[in-house]
Amino acid sequence: MGNKNEKKNKKSSYMHDVLERFLSHKLAVVGLGLIILLIILVIVLPPLLELDPYTSHAQGGFNQKPSAAHWLGTDRTGRDIFARLVYGGRISLVVGILSTIVSMVIGIPLGLLAGYYRGWVETIIMRLADIFMSFPSMMLILVLVAVMGPSVISITVVLGILGWTQFARLIHSRVLSVREKEYVESAKAIGTKNWKIITKYILPNSFAPCLITMTFRTASSILMEASLSFLGMGVQPPTASWGNLMYDAQSIVVLSKQPWTWIPPGLCLVITVLSINFFGDGLRDALDPKMKI
Amino acid sequence: MKLKYVGKRILIIIPTFIGITILAYFLSSMSPGDPIDMIVGPSQLSAEDIARLRHSYGLDQPVIIQYFHWFARMLQGNFGISYRTAEPVLGMILSRIGPTLLITITSVVVSVLLAIPMGVGAAVKPYSLWDYISSGISFLAAAAPNFFVGLLLVYIFGVSLKILPVSGMYTTASSKSFGDLVRHMILPVAVLAFQQIGNLIRQVRGSMLEVLQEDYIRTAREKGLKEGRIVIRHGLRNALIPVVTTIGMNLPFIVGGAVVTEQIFGWPGIGTLMVQSIHARDYPCIMGITVFIAIVVLIGNLITDLVYGLLDPRISYK
């Protein structure tokens, strides 16, 4: 009994330290607050304000200026831009988060395999990671999207597949350091099975850095999706995303005469990515003060 | 010894290069649509004519055989013929690579020259106003999508203030003066440099902070050297070594940024060619660009690796 309590106390004091370190990082707290606010807004606003991002409000004319009825005006087909901004936020966040999960699902097992079994498995996986990392992912993404056809799903999958290297490398290096530890050696000595060593010792030890990499990867996926959609090779209209809302601004007329159409999505992107990065920074300092990325 | 190291680095590059060509080729071959349709347009020819065309392009053979033919031709400098313009792909790439290298290399130089004083200043006086300003800039640079920065710059300098050109390399094709070129370069280079500077400032600050705690810095202080001399002669020279690696790792990222930046500023580089080719499903061109960029990036990585070795005598060339 006493032992169990002690363990519990130790665990809660670790969490307490982490929380304390995180809360002392003011920008990280602000970042987390903004992320939560943003998620709530994109979920709650559409039903609350009865936003409709698809119907054309042609009676007031296309390309309307901001008004009480349309806070950010309407686009060239008469759709309400504020509604599209909110719905676009949903898509941008979902693509960012889902593609990161895809990256983890691919990268973590590969990193584990490479680190644990070594030999030719390691050589193949890590060389493959080098190949992926030495090449401009933007180019590969463009080629892949051209092949698969641009859609929300294909963008998510492509960004997810190309993000595996970060997780594989991270887990690989973690495994290499953990597998030399005495407790793993002793577990091996008493005949513990490989998968049990992996799930019991190696994965829990890699959780913190994985979480941190996850936040930064989500931020960069959001940016990549936006770039692709801006080029017209990402999320396709009528579905809105922050990137494709800015597609029209490639024409100098829209750019110069209707700044209210492209500045808000741009600002949303900057604020979102900035918040996620601040949050990730705070998380890193809190979970693992020695770690560097 | 150095030659051996260089040789080994080049040997590592070869499988990487082959890997990229395989990836590019098989991806393109999986793409929907018949290449013959792209070349001649659908249903203008009889079935026999199509079969003959198919044979003459080698499209009737298995994909693996096609890949080897393509690879062998490519090694001889034959990247095929563009479906879109019917010109040789290599010629199209070569005419576009200069403008792209011009803005990307300039942007690397500009961002390094700006990041060094900002990062060093921040490291010399941590938690000072200067530190906050430079880390603020670095956070902002990492979070701002480069196309948004580009649009804002066009809006401010091109539309509102009307002091800088926002499109192309020269005002008119006939007036190719150096000054005109520089004026056209300012905004695209600014976008690309801003995109890199966040990482660089962080790296300079971090490695400078680390170096300033080394024993040899303390020794230099105890010898009574002036602080400025210590920071620059003893600190900066060592702190810059990891920065070289950061530049190398940034390369793929800069090329990706160039695609978007060129698109915004109508810069006649490889990025706009890529976007045009993708819209037209011009696969010979897409594959050619992919392979060409791979070569450029791999050479860039090799150069930064070697510079790193030159700068840091502790690295053994084995």
* Cα angle for residues B248, B273, B71 (degrees, 5° grid): 70
Q: What is the mean pLDDT of chain A?
A: 84
Q: What is the mean pLDDT of chain B?
A: 84
For chain A, the first-to-last Cα distance in angstroms comes to 40
From residue B312, how far is each of B9, B234, B237 by CA, in Å? 17, 13, 10
Categorize the per-residue pLDDT at A108 as very low, low, confident or very high, splitting at 50, 70 and 90: very high
Residue A67's region, left for phi above 0, alpha for psi from -120 to 50, else beta, is beta
Mean local confidence (pLDDT), A29-48: 90
Spell out which residues of chain A touch residue B32, defining contact as CB-CB under 8 Å: 147, 149
Q: Domain map of chain B by residue range?
A: 89-311
Are A210 and A104 in contact by the 8 Å Cβ rule? The answer is: yes
Categorize the per-residue pLDDT at B33 as very low, low, confident or very high, splitting at 50, 70 and 90: low
Sign of CA dihedral B137, B143, B146, B152: negative
pLDDT computed for residue A265 by the predictor: 94
Separation in Å, CA of B305 to nearest CA in chain A: 13
pLDDT computed for residue A173 by the predictor: 86
Q: Which residues pair with A80 in a beta bridge?
A: A74
Separation in Å, CA of B232 to nearest CA in chain A: 25
Flag whether pLDDT at A6 surpasses 70: no
Mean local confidence (pLDDT), A131-139: 78
Q: How many CA atoms lie within 13 A of B261 on its CB side?
A: 29
The whole-angstrom separation of Cα B152 and Cα B159 is 10
At the fourth CATH level, the homologous superfamily of domain B89-311 is: MetI-like (1.10.3720.10)
Contact B144 A270 (CB under 8 A): yes
Proportion of chain A above pLDDT 90, given as a percent: 31
The whole-angstrom separation of Cα A199 and Cα A189 is 17
Flag whether pLDDT at A1 surpasses 50: no
Tokens of A195: 């998968």
Interface test with A, best of B26, B151, B262 (most A CBs within 10 A): B151
Categorize the per-residue pLDDT at A226 as very low, low, confident or very high, splitting at 50, 70 and 90: very high
pLDDT computed for residue A31 by the predictor: 92
Interface test with B, best of A92, A124, A142, A256 (most B CBs within 10 A): A142
Contact B263 A250 (CB under 8 A): yes
* Tens digits of residue pLDDT in A14-28: 778 888 888 888 888
From residue B8, how far is each of A177, A195, B205, B310, B317 by CA, in Å? 27, 36, 32, 16, 10
Q: How many CA atoms lie within 13 A of B124 on its CB side?
A: 15
Flag whether pLDDT at B50 surpasses 60: yes
Measured between CA atoms, the residue of chain A closest to residue B283 is A143
pLDDT computed for residue B49 by the predictor: 77
Are B229 and B109 in contact by the 8 Å Cβ rule? The answer is: no
Contact A256 B155 (CB under 8 A): yes
* Tens digits of residue pLDDT in B101-159: 999 999 999 999 999 999 998 988 888 898 899 989 999 998 999 999 999 999 999 88
pLDDT computed for residue B315 by the predictor: 55
pLDDT computed for residue A290 by the predictor: 57
Candidates A133, A139, A146; nearest CB to B281: A146
pLDDT computed for residue A10 by the predictor: 62
Tell me what ipTM this predicted complex has.
0.86
Spell out which residues of chain A touch residue B15, defining contact as CB-CB under 8 Å: 127, 131
Flag whether pLDDT at A292 surpasses 60: no
* Tens digits of residue pLDDT in B55-99: 776 777 788 888 888 888 888 888 888 888 888 999 999 999 999
The whole-angstrom separation of Cα A36 and Cα A275 is 10
What secondary structure letter does DSSP report for B190? Answer: H
Measured between CA atoms, the residue of chain A closest to residue B19 is A131
Flag whether pLDDT at B301 surpasses 90: no
* Tens digits of residue pLDDT in A51-87: 777 777 766 667 777 877 777 777 777 788 888 899 9
Mean local confidence (pLDDT), A250-268: 89
pLDDT computed for residue A8 by the predictor: 57
* Tens digits of residue pLDDT in B282-299: 888 888 888 888 888 888
What is this structure's pTM? 0.87
Contact B19 A269 (CB under 8 A): no
pLDDT computed for residue B109 by the predictor: 94
Q: According to DSSP H, which parts of chain B are helical? A: 2-30, 35-40, 47-56, 63-75, 89-124, 129-143, 146-153, 178-211, 215-222, 227-229, 237-265, 270-279, 283-311
Spell out which residues of chain A touch residue B155, defining contact as CB-CB under 8 Å: 255-256, 259
pLDDT computed for residue A221 by the predictor: 94
pLDDT computed for residue B80 by the predictor: 82
Q: Does A127 touch chain B (CB under 8 A)?
A: yes
pLDDT computed for residue A293 by the predictor: 42
Contact A138 B255 (CB under 8 A): yes
Q: Does A23 touch chain B (CB under 8 A)?
A: no
Mean local confidence (pLDDT), A1-11: 56
The answer to which of A195-204, B82-91, B249-258 has the lowest mean pLDDT is A195-204
The answer to which of A30-44, A46-60, A164-178, B169-183 has the lowest mean pLDDT is A46-60
Cis bond upstream, residue A238 (ω within 30)? yes
The answer to which of A186-190, B156-160, B227-231 has the lowest mean pLDDT is B227-231
Q: What are phi and psi of A80, to 5 degrees?
A: -70, 120
pLDDT computed for residue B101 by the predictor: 92
In sequence order, what DSSP letters do the residues of chain A get, joined into one string? -HHHHHHHHHHHHHHHHHHHHHHT-HHHHHHHHHHHHHHHHHHHHHHHHT--SSS--GGG-SSPPP-SSSTT-B-TT--BHHHHHHHHHHHHHHHHHHHHHHHHHHHHHHHHHHHHH-HHHHHHHHHHHHHHHTS-HHHHHHHHHHHH---HHHHHHHHHHHTHHHHHHHHHHHHHHHTTSHHHHHHHHTT--HHHHIIIIIHHHHHHHHHHHHHHHHHHHHHHHHHHHHTTSSSPTTS--HHHHTGGGGSHHHHHH-HHHHHHHHHHHHHHHHHHHHHHHHHHHHH-TT---
